[in-house]
Structure 1
């Protein structure tokens, strides 16, 4: 480490320069020793000595240059590994480094490939656990907030309409009381699965908490409300007579630049108006 640290002071940004310096010194220190011995011993005539010196010096310089070029090429896998690590850090882009055998470089590249893929899989699992509801696999509240911010940004940048809906089940407690909490959990799961059958790419559903869900639909408000009404009717029809599923829902259209808490507040207020009006219905602004 002392040698590395010493050379790092001279060549702080290039490992190749460090290697080449070691090669240069390793080749030319013995040469300087030879020249010194020849000069001191006096066994060689001056002309002969300088001829030998010139030939040896030229040969070693050529050999050193060739060795440095070869070392630079041999270090290509290390440069590729460094680029792959930086790409993953900056862009979360997984590397596909080549398998170069079983020497130190090959082991290093395989280790980087394996470890970064493992880290990436762990991060994906962590994101899912942080942003998804464990029961329904819909977005949880934190995931809803992040997705709503992303949807609003998309709506503004591409000038796409966005409608937000708050859906609250009217009769989850009676279902739990009559059929048990496992049946109530199955109702929540079925609700999310049913929504995903008609939601379009970019749309999403999340469990805001308890039996309250939030849906974002990238469509005109009138079209989005029609889809929600049809979905609620399908849910009620599919649930059957023994366990009918009723829900109150409210919808509000996102206004570009509007505070996201305000659009949620308007949709939530519409949902409560629907509930106070008897439930099992959707009220959309300006309904």
Structure 2
């Protein structure tokens, strides 16, 4: 490490320069010894000595140049590995480093590949656990806040209409009282599964808390409200088997570009409470 630290003072940003310096010095030490021997031995005439010196010096410089070029090319995998690490740190872009065999460089590249892919998989699992509700696998409150900000950005940048719905189950407590909390949990899961059957890829559903859910639909306000009413009607229909009808009150509000997202939620939530006060099991949208 002393040699490395010493060369680092001279070449702080280039490992190639450090390596080539060592090669240059190592190659030229024999030449220096030859020069000293020729200078003090007295066995060569001056003309012969300079001819030998020129040949040896030329051959040494050519060989040094070729060796440095070869070393620079041999270090390409190391440069690629460094770039891959920086790319993942800056952009979370996973590397696809080549498999170069079983020497030290090959093992290093495979290790970087495995490590970064493992770290990335762990981070994805961590993000999912942080943003998802563990029971329903819908977005949790934090996930809803992040998704709503993303939806608003999408609505503004691509001019895609956005409607936010607040949904509150009317009959979850009677289900819990009559059939137990496990049945109530199953009802919440069924609601999320059912919603995902008609939501589009850019839409989402999240559990805001308890039996209150948020749904974001990227469609014209009237179209989004029509889809929502159709879904609530299907949930409330008597189902065969052990599935119980679900009654829910919901309110919808269209996003106004540039408005505070808390105001968007407040309007949808107020509409939901108006629906619940009017008897529940219905959807009220702005304009109703």
TM-score by length of 1: 0.97
Give the superposition deviation at 1:240. Answer: 5.2
Secondary structure of 1:265's counterpart equals helix
Give the Cα separation in 2 of the matches to 1:261 and 1:121. 33
**How far apart in 2 are the matches of 1:237 and 1:95?**
51
Structure 1's 271 and 98: CA in aligned 2 closer, same or farther, altered over 3 A?
same
* Other-structure match for 2:49: 49
Which residue in the other structure is 1:61 paired with?
61
User: Over aligned residue pairs, what C-alpha RMSD do you find?
Assistant: 1.2
Q: How many matched pairs? A: 287
Moved over 6 A (4+): none
* Residues 241 and 117 of structure 1, relative CA distance in 2, 3 Å threshold: closer
- What is the CA-CA distance between 1:30 and the residue it aligns to? 2.0
Cα–Cα, structure 1 residues 108 and 222, in superposed 2: closer, same or farther, change >3 Å? same
Instruction: Give the Cα–Cα distance (whole angstroms) in 1 for the partners of residues 270 and 96 of structure 2.
Output: 51
Note the residue ranges of structure 1 that are not aligned, 5 or more in a row: none
Alpha-carbon shift at residue 83 of structure 1 (Å): 1.2
Map of 1:267 onto structure 2: 268
Distance 1:20 1:282 in 2: 75
Q: How far apart in 1 are the matches of 2:32 and 2:88? A: 47
Matches within 5 A, 1:198-213: 198-213=198-213
Q: For the residues of structure 2 that align with 1:282 and 1:67, how far apart are their CA atoms? A: 78
Distance 1:205 1:131, change over 3 A: same
Secondary structure of 1:43 counterpart: coil
User: Residues 208-228 of structure 1, C-alpha deviation per residue, up to 9 Å, x if partnerless?
Assistant: 001000000011111111000
In the aligned structure 1, how far is the partner of 2:266 from the partner of 2:287? 15
Correspondence for 1:16: 16
- 2:149 pairs with 1:143: no
CA distance in 2, matches of 1:123, 1:86: 17
How big is the shift at 1:244?
2.3
Query: 1:102 Cα deviation (Å)?
Result: 1.0
Does the C-alpha gap of structure 1 residues 154 and 238 become closer, same or farther in structure 2, counting only changes over 3 Å? farther
Q: Which runs of 5+ in 2 are unaligned?
A: none
- Deviation of the 1:193 alpha carbon: 0.6
